[in-house]
């Protein structure tokens, strides 16, 4: 897995570099910078599978970097790292386009496994953040909640249409409306918010 890092703390990037240098390491650190403004250039030149973005970056900041990366490379896995439990910031990172959030305090092997999971299309949230009280999610009706659950379960448009007894075109229209309500750009981000809000816990 090719990894790029955008982080203000040299020791964090150095730690990842040491992990990558270990025998049979599953990660290869291909680029790093401490500048949010260099995010797009770094991604374009290094072509990583996963990019790690420190949510504590100085202005223009991590959210700006994540948004710019997502526009440049829509399929690239973006991992945001956080030193605290600011759920509002986590939500903003997900809405900006992050595929997951990893606590900077996690053990090296856990960090690597998390990055590998993101590279393979999984969504990740730190458990302590997911358990904080929900805030900022719009009040949805029963139909919207049902559709949101289907998106979080990664059901196809055809499957959802069959379940709801509507046309695929109607499902696409409903999905677009739901994404606007949630303030996200993709089904992946909607699924991440669903995990944050415990939609799949029951």
CB 138, CB 114: distance < 8 Å: no
> What pLDDT is recorded for position 25?
87
CB 123, CB 78: distance < 8 Å: no
Residue 28: Cβ within 10 Å count: 12
Distance from chain centroid for Cα 163: 28
Q: Residue 1 and residue 152: Cα distance in Å, rounded?
A: 26
> What pLDDT is recorded for position 197?
55
Q: Residue 153 and residue 61: Cα distance in Å, rounded?
A: 32
> What pLDDT is recorded for position 129?
44
pLDDT over 90, % of the chain: 36
| Mutual angle of helices 10-21 and 108-119, in 10-degree steps | 80
Total-model pTM:
0.67
Q: Going residue by residue through the chain (202 aa), what tens digit of pLDDT does each one get? A: 999 999 988 888 888 888 888 888 899 999 999 999 999 999 999 999 999 999 999 888 999 999 999 999 988 999 999 887 677 888 888 888 898 888 888 888 888 888 988 888 777 776 544 433 444 566 778 888 889 888 888 899 999 999 999 999 999 999 999 888 887 778 877 877 776 555 544 4
142-196 topology per CATH: Arc Repressor Mutant, subunit A (1.10.10)
Q: Which two tokens stand for residue 151?
A: 């998106």
> What pLDDT is recorded for position 99?
87
- Half-sphere exposure at residue 12, Cβ-oriented, CA atoms within 13 angstroms: 24
Delimiting residues of CATH 1.10.10.10 domain(s) in the chain: 142-196
Q: Residue 88 and residue 82: Cα distance in Å, rounded?
A: 12
Q: So what CATH class is 2-130?
A: alpha beta
Distance from chain centroid for Cα 59: 20
CB 77, CB 97: distance < 8 Å: no
Q: Which two tokens stand for residue 75?
A: 């399929």
Give CA angle at 156 (184, 50), nearest 5°. Answer: 55
Q: Which two tokens stand for residue 47?
A: 């072509």
Q: Dump pLDDT digits (tens) for 99-136.
A: 888 888 888 888 888 898 888 877 777 654 443 344 45
> What pLDDT is recorded for position 16?
87
Delimiting residues of CATH 3.40.50.2300 domain(s) in the chain: 2-130
> What pLDDT is recorded for position 55?
93
């Amino acid at each position: 897995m090719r990894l790029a890092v955008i982080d203000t703390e040299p020791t964090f990037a150095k730690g990842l570099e040491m992990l990558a240098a270990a025998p049979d390491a599953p990660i290869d650190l291909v680029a790093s910078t401490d500048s949010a403004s260099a995010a797009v250039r770094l991604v374009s030149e290094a072509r990583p599978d996963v990019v790690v973005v420190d949510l504590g970056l100085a202005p223009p900041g991590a959210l700006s970097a994540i948004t710019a990366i997502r526009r440049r490379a829509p399929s690239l896995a973006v991992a945001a790292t956080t030193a605290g439990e600011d759920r509002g910031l986590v939500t903003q990172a997900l809405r900006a386009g992050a595929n997951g959030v990893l606590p900077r305090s996690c053990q090296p092997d856990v960090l690597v496994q998390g990055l590998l999971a993101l590279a393979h299309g999984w969504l990740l949230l730190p458990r302590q953040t997911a358990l904080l009280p929900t805030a900022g999610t719009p009040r949805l009706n029963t139909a919207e909640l049902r559709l949101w659950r289907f998106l979080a379960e990664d059901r196809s448009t055809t499957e959802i249409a069959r379940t709801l007894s509507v046309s695929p075109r109607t499902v696409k229209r409903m999905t677009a409306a739901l994404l606007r309500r949630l303030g996200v750009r993709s089904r992946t981000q909607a699924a991440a918010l669903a995990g944050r809000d415990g939609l799949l816990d029951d």
